Each structure stands twice: as C-alpha cells, then as structure tokens.
A and B are shown apart, each in its own frame.
Chain A
C-alpha cells in the first residue's frame, strides 16, 4: 500500500470515520494499516499461557456470527490492571499500549444467539469472566492472524487468531456478578443498573458483551464496541430519570484536564438539560496526521437524545461521567465539553480515555463569571473560537425567553 494515499483523503473524513466505516472507499484503513506495520507485532507462537485479567474480545465483523474468546497475556501474576482503565490515568501511551498489545486474543466463530443456551466453549468464556481474580489460562491456536485490534471505542488488543482449545484453572467467582448471571428473569438494562453501584463499569461491559445479562431468551453476544456504548447509554438513561425535576446548577462551573494528548474544557452552566461535545482533532493526531485539523460536534437536549453521534461512542462516554457527577450534586444544567486532540495521541485507545480523563477533570471545579469567559479561555489557550460550533452557545445567546415579552 502506498501510504501517501492518506494525503489525498480529507482530514474531516478520517475524523468522522475513525478507521471504522471506511469512508475513503479503501478496503482497509490506511492509517491503521500504517500503524500495524510500524508496531511490527507478530504472532509467532502456536500457544499462549498466562493470567487472564479476566478479559475477552468480541468482534463485530460477520454479525450475527461473531468472533468471541478470551484474551490472555503471556505473563503470570496479578494482571488485573490490564482490564481496569479506571486505573490507567497517569500511565504513558506507550505503557498502556504495550500492556494492551500483550493481550493475545483467541476466538471461535459463534452465533450471537448462542448466549440463550451456551455451549461448552461459550460456558468456559463465561466462567472466565465470573472469576473474582486473574485466571491461569492457556490457548492453542489453529490459525493465528497477525492483526492487532484497534477501534475508537474499545481498548486496543494484541494479535489474535482462531483457537483449537482454551483451558483455564477454576477460580472463585465474584458473587455479585454471578447472581446477575444466573438471574434469567431480569432485563439486561435492569441488571446493568443494579450492578453499576458495586461493580466496575468495565466488568459490566464485558458481561453484557459476552451475553451474560438479561432474560434467558433475550440474551445475545454483543460485539465489544457496541456493548460499551450500550452500557453507557443504559446507565446514563438511569441517572437521567433520577435527575428528573432536579434544580439547575447555580453558577457556571468550569473543569479542565489534559492527559496523553487529550485536553478537556468542560462547562456546566445554569439552565435545563443539554449536552454538547465538540471534538477538535489537530495537527499530528492519529486521524488527521499532517493534514491540518478538523472539528466536529454533537448536541442534544431534554427534547431529543442523540442516538448516532457524529463523533462516535466518546459522546456517550463523556455523557455518562458528567451525569454521574451531576447526580452527586443532585443538579442539572447545560453541559459543553470541548476536547482537543494533539500529536501526542498517536493511537486510538478507546472511549475509556474520554471517560477517565473527564472524571479526573471533574475533581477540580472553578466558577466562571459567565459563559463568554469559557469561550474566551478556550480561545486564548487553543486559538479556536468554539462559539461558531456550539449549539449550546446559540441556545443561550440567541434564544429569547417568553418572559422578555411580558409573561
């Protein structure tokens, strides 16, 4: 492949596609392919054994028959951190990607409906996920592939291939998640909400993905990428209904954080619920390269929720953590998130990065005198006038209220 091809594709197209939709019309994403080539990772072994954190991978290609199976690093010990993105804030990109790329994937092709009555193989995978600690596992490959797995939503995975067999030691189960697994009368969305109080979001995502939640007949295997968005949406909707009738925040609350090439400027302003994310991909970032920058955004309010955001799953990830924050305050408001991505962000790490970095940002709150101040801070620091993109800004500045006409 000629990598100079990339120069002819508009940056805005890549920002919207993120290697996912192949909007450029090529058979594979040239940016991702280039990354594979430079990472030089090969699967040169017939078998892998080590401690699975526990971890699984579910592909979306070929749906409704998908690749599902365990991910196992070639190391033994406490590998829990491999699957706990909530503990990754502070690690360098190289550290995160090295850790994730050592998770070797093994899979078999399984129809998604098999989750209704799991066969031997799928039961083994479920058993692995129920474990309360990392599990000694081994896989024997039948046809190894070389590809890594990179997508805008999921954490990256190492190389993988079809497996002939998968074995793991028996391990004690996490009783909370086990209870939901065996409860076949509860809806998946209800069990997600019940688990959320006590269980890591990343564990819930994996259970939903493996088809371990929900009513017996409704259980399905869900590709990892979709399961992440589904989990975010279910929990956000749950929090949103709890916040029904809540008062609005009294001041313009500002939050900021920068980590691994991602910088967040967040404003929660008094008013009814609205939520907007504006993403600006800048020179050198993975999806734009040297082609300049591209800005894109999505807006929703209480009248209508966005189902297919242009910016992808990061919209739902950001929404969940901010609603979580507002739930603790018992308040609602108009929310704007502006995200700048720069050249340090060389590989898409998944939406956990959005979620955890915003969570970090929300720990430090500053009160601004008005919303103009927010836009001027962003403009001073990032030389971008976000007002031209922001629907929230137009709603606040241009939309009059009936009271102004004598109500």
Chain B
C-alpha cells in the first residue's frame, strides 16, 4: 500500500526529466522519498533522480516498492491538470491510480524486471564548474542553431561552450570566466564534445533549477548535477562524449 499526494508541477518536472531518455522507468518508492535511475536505449546517457518526501503534500510509503511506470501516460494525465492541482496517487498492489479533482485514472504497471536499472559508474572528472543554468542554456541554444555537437572546454580561468557549423566561418562561443562561477575546480585542461539533442532536452527539463554543476574531463563523459524543487530533490546526468574519428 502506497499513497502520495503531489502537485502537478512537481509531477511534470519529474516526468519531463525522465522522458528525456526513456518513456518507461522503474521507480523505487522508499519511506524517505522516491528514486529512479534510467539509461537511454543507445546507452549514451544516464539519469539518476531523487525526490525527498518533503516535496510531497502527503507521503505514506510503508514498505519499499519498485514500480514500472509508463511516463507517457503520466504526461497525458498532466495535460488535464493546472499547475497547482494536487494529484492523489495510490498503489494497491496491482495497479496505480491517480485522482485529480473528481477524475480517476488508473494505469497498469509495467513489470519492473523488464526495465533495466543501470549502475551509475564511478567516473572521476578533473574539473568542476558551478554556475547559473541560464549561461549553459544560452550556450547550448546558440550551438543548436548551427550544429549537432557542442564542445565544453575548461581552462585555468574559464569555461567555454562552443560549436562549429558546416563552414569555419559559422561558429558560436559562450565564455564563462572563473569570476562568474560559484565554484571553479581546475586540475587540467579538458575538452569534450557532446550530442546537442541529448543535452538540450535534459537542460530544458530542469524547470526549477537555478544553479548547475558541470564536471568535465578530456574526451570523457560529462556529469551535470542540479538541485531541483527548491532543494527537495536532486538530479545527476551523465553523457558519453562524441569523439572525432573519421
């Protein structure tokens, strides 16, 4: 037995983050909050997401449950609700049901054993930059206009986001000097490139985030960590790089 109440806005952010990689996910409900880890079908990116029980209007989970949720169906439900409406979610051992005002919707669950939960790898990254998410957003959106790949470059005193179009004269470059960061850990020069469609979808899903932490290595995966829902949740995103080897 499980019963939680959550406002539509929080539910939307939760489902938007997961849907950047997969339409279905195994979600663990524990007495202190909910946890999920997902990996995209191409095994290129991974998301780990936690939401503390404080983010919920009501949270009663007696025993730990792992449920396979259809995120697409949750999103359909959200289309019917205003941002501040409360969604009353129940699991009775068989199906999951959502109550929204006087609307009741129940969905079958997906067998969680068919959904793989990835192990989050231990990846040591030499550099870390903590800054305002809007800078990253601008850099990525500028790059999207001309390219499919964006490059992150860390130097002793700056973090650079740049992209190159089809010709050498078509470029975008956003520089975040050390002085404009909250935290700047530099160990060695690093440069890695990433597929923009993964990055932009993820960054756009973070509606309640102000500050973001980006860890970069040299031709190595990037780790982006952010606090969501006013500190009541956190998300970590890992993305494998593009390597030029043609």
Contacts and interface: CB of A to CB of B under 8 A. Distances in A.
Nearest to B22: A302
Given A244-B23, A303-B201, A304-B197, A401 B44 contact: yes
Interface in B1-36: 20, 23-24
Contact of B122 (A301, A304, A398, A406): A406
A69 to B, nearest CB: 40
A407 B39 CA distance: 11
Contact of B246 (A271, A301, A387): A387
B242 A405 contact: no
Contact of B244 (A387, A395, A398): A398
Interface residues of B, number: 32
A218 interface: no
A397 interface: yes
Interface in A244-288: 244-245, 271-273
Contacts of A406: 121-123
Interface centre among A271, A273, A301, A400 (most CB of B within 10 A): A400
A39 interface: no
A398 B243 contact: yes
Nearest to B41: A272
Interface string A363-407: 000000000000000000000000100010011011111111111
A397 B41 contact: no
A403 B221 CA distance: 11
Contacts of B114: 245
B244 A399 contact: no
Interface in B181-233: 195, 197-198, 201, 220-221
Interface in A120-139: none
Contact of A399 (B41, B42, B220, B238): B42
Contacts, number: 68
A316 B46 CA distance: 31
B169 interface: no
A391 B195 CA distance: 11
A405 to B, nearest CB: 6
A400 B246 CA distance: 13
A398 B221 contact: no
B177 interface: no
Contact of B240 (A301, A302, A304, A401): A401
B63 interface: no
B195 A399 contact: yes
Contact of A402 (B24, B41, B195, B238): B238
A399 B46 CA distance: 14
Given A271-B42, A398-B244, A402-B240, A303 B121 contact: no
Interface in B68-124: 114, 118-119, 121-123
B43 interface: yes
A407 B241 contact: no
Main secondary structure of the interface of B (DSSP, over half): loop
A280 to B, nearest CB: 18
B45 interface: yes
A17 B158 CA distance: 45
B240 to A, nearest CB: 4
Contact of A407 (B23, B119, B148): B119
A51 to B, nearest CB: 47
B179 interface: no
B167 interface: no
B45 A402 contact: yes
B118 A407 contact: yes
Given A398-B242, A407-B121, A303 B197 contact: yes
Contacts of B243: 398, 400
Nearest to B119: A407
B123 A405 contact: yes
Nearest to A393: B246
Nearest to B39: A402
B41 A302 contact: yes
A302 B197 CA distance: 11
A398 B197 contact: no
B121 A402 contact: yes
Contacts of B121: 402, 405-407
Interface in A315-346: none
B46 A402 contact: yes
A391 B246 CA distance: 13
Contacts of B40: 272
A395 B242 CA distance: 8
Interface in A213-263: 244-245
A402 B236 CA distance: 14
Contacts of A302: 41
A395 B135 CA distance: 27
Interface in B131-178: 148
A401 B44 CA distance: 5
A193 B101 CA distance: 34
A397 B195 CA distance: 13
Contacts of B242: 394, 398-400
A397 B245 contact: yes
A398 B240 contact: no
A281 to B, nearest CB: 19
Given A272-B41, A405-B221, A407-B118, 13 more contacts: A245-B114, A272-B40, A303-B201, A387-B246, A400-B44, A400-B240, A401-B42, A402-B44, A402-B45, A405-B220, A405-B240, A406-B121, A406-B123
Interface of A: 244-245, 271-273, 301-304, 387, 391, 394-395, 397-407
15 contacts: A271-B42, A272-B42, A273-B41, A303-B20, A304-B197, A391-B148, A394-B148, A395-B42, A397-B245, A398-B242, A398-B244, A402-B39, A404-B240, A405-B123, A407-B43
Closest 7 CB pairs of A and B: A272-B41, A407-B121, A400-B240, A401-B43, A398-B242, A272-B42, A402-B240
